[in-house]
Structure 1
């Protein structure tokens, strides 16, 4: 077969493009939703952080998750909670924001290493190839833990927070007209996820213009 593998590759590329567009559209919609309901979003995120901290503590006490990794996860969510003091605005050079970025990656690496070692030890203790190791979390359980306890709050903060470089007006600047005031208001309420999507679309538009793929109205 020669054509069918090519069709499979083409379908994979098209599916990846649609998936990327769906994620970008979802981020854009969530960012606009948070902009319209900042008070509700702050209350929801705060309760979500406390709930995940309680869930991690429960996993440590009942399922005997490692104490120090659990302590690191609770401390990380405590740092995430510090970003809520000026919600939805955040300074990209804020030590709490930078520490949050580092802790996300550190938690992901350490928990991935923990589950990998746990599975490796379980398979090494098998007496036969056909045996099924006990007390090994399934892929669904591991993925759910990463999604809820490691990545959910940082992802929600990324969607909700707005970069202060975009939200604070220049000192001494006054809107020249009503349109200028509306433009400044739109910049003030723009979130990081929304700004990222806009920048990506702008970069794609510039690349297409450099490649000569201009619209018909631009050529006139």
Structure 2
């Protein structure tokens, strides 16, 4: 009896390792796609914001969700539209980015408070969290590294765009989420070295 118990825990560890590797590979592939196709990604994120706003309005009309929960969600989507104006360059010190981070926490607090008082099936609660709270911030998170490989197009007061760009970045070096994923890939699956 104890052998099967130990075996079940070992199989659980192997399954968790496989799922973690699959998620990391998927995120790496998504980050690569977003970096390559920033215009299409911007359009997809815009449609996701519109879809999330439609879902929030549908929840208000058909499910009688509280006005405060829907209003904060719609305001959050408006802030996400503000982030989309400078996409793929997302400035982490901008007021829009800071406000969107605060609103993610506020939205989660209001959602947990509402779902603690009202009974919904777990799948319904998960659907709300997926479409209204997680999908858009996750899309922005994965696309954070997309703006690092875009050539500068505007001049800030007192900056020379070309020289500023080449002094701040090193050629061929990645940073951001792709650098993390590349490091994890090399740590887990080291490449073969050619011996001459």
TM-score interval for Structure 1 and Structure 2 normalised by the shorter chain: 0.7 to 0.9
**What is the aligned-residue RMSD (CA, Å)?**
2.9
- Could you tell me which residue of structure 2 aligns to residue 53 of structure 1? 53
Deviation of 1:198 after TM superposition, in Å, equals 2.9
Q: How does 1:67-216 map to 2 (within 5 A)?
A: 67-119=67-119, 137-162=120-145, 171=164, 173=166, 181=171, 183=172, 187=174, 192-201=176-185, 204=187
Distance in 2 between residues matched to 1:172 and 1:99, nearest whole Å: 27
Is the contact between residue 91 and residue 165 of structure 1 (CA under 8 Å) also seen in structure 2? no
Q: Distance in 1 between matches of 2:93 and 2:84?
A: 15
Matched length: 181
TM-score, normalization by structure 2 = 0.79
Would the alpha carbon gap of residues 172 and 158 (structure 1) be closer, same or farther in structure 2, given more than 3 Å must change? closer
Question: TM-score, with normalisation over the residues of structure 1?
Answer: 0.71
Secondary structure at 2:27 match in 1: helix
Distance 1:164 1:140, change over 3 A: same
Q: Structure 1 residues 155 and 172 mapped into 2: Cα distance closer, same or farther (>3 Å)?
A: closer
**Shift of residue 68 of structure 1?**
0.6
CA distances 1:29-51 after superposition (whole Å, capped 9, x unpaired): 11111122111111111121012
Looking at structure 2, the residues matched to 155 and 98 of structure 1 have their Cα atoms a distance apart, in angstroms, of 15
- Asked if the contact 1:91–1:163 (Cα under 8 Å) also holds between the matched residues in 2, the reply is no
1:64 aligns with 64
Alignment partners' CA distance in 1, 2:137 and 2:66: 22
Determine the C-alpha separation between the residues in 1 that align with 2:182 and 2:122: 35
Gaps of 5+ in 2: 153-161
Q: Distance in 2 between matches of 1:142 and 1:216?
A: 46
